[in-house]
Amino acid sequence: MSQKVAVDALRYISVLLLFRFMNSLGTAFSFISNDAVAKIQILENYRCGANGQMYFTVQSMVKYEVDHRLVDLEKRGNHYESGCRTLLRLHRALKWLQLFLEKLRVASDDSKTSVLCSEAYNDSLANYHPWIVRKAAAIAFYMLPSRASFFEIMNMGPSEKVVATLGDALPLISKTYDITQELYNQHCFLDLP
Asked whether the CA dihedral 153, 169, 85, 64 is positive or negative, the reply is negative
Alpha-carbon span 73 to 192, nearest angstrom: 6
- The nearest distance, CB 125 to ligand NAG, in angstroms, is 11
DSSP 19: I
Nearest residue by C-beta to ligand NAG?
Answer: 122
Nearer to ligand NAG, 111 or 122 (CB): 122
Nearer to ligand NAG, 51 or 122 (CB): 122
Torsion of CA 16, 18, 19, 25, to 10 degrees: 140
Nearer to ligand NAG, 71 or 138 (CB): 138
Alpha-carbon span 33 to 20, nearest angstrom: 10
Alpha-carbon span 176 to 123, nearest angstrom: 19
- The nearest distance, CB 184 to ligand NAG, in angstroms, is 25
Alpha-carbon span 43 to 141, nearest angstrom: 28
Residues of the shown chain interacting with ligand NAG in the complex, contacts defined by CB under 6 A: 115, 118-119, 122, 134, 138
Contact yes or no for 127/88 (Cβ under 8 A): no
Asked whether the CA dihedral 113, 117, 122, 123 is positive or negative, the reply is positive
Nearer to ligand NAG, 122 or 159 (CB): 122
- The nearest distance, CB 163 to ligand NAG, in angstroms, is 22
- The nearest distance, CB 96 to ligand NAG, in angstroms, is 12
Number of neighbouring beta carbons within 10 Å of residue 93 = 22
Nearer to ligand NAG, 141 or 189 (CB): 141
- The nearest distance, CB 136 to ligand NAG, in angstroms, is 12
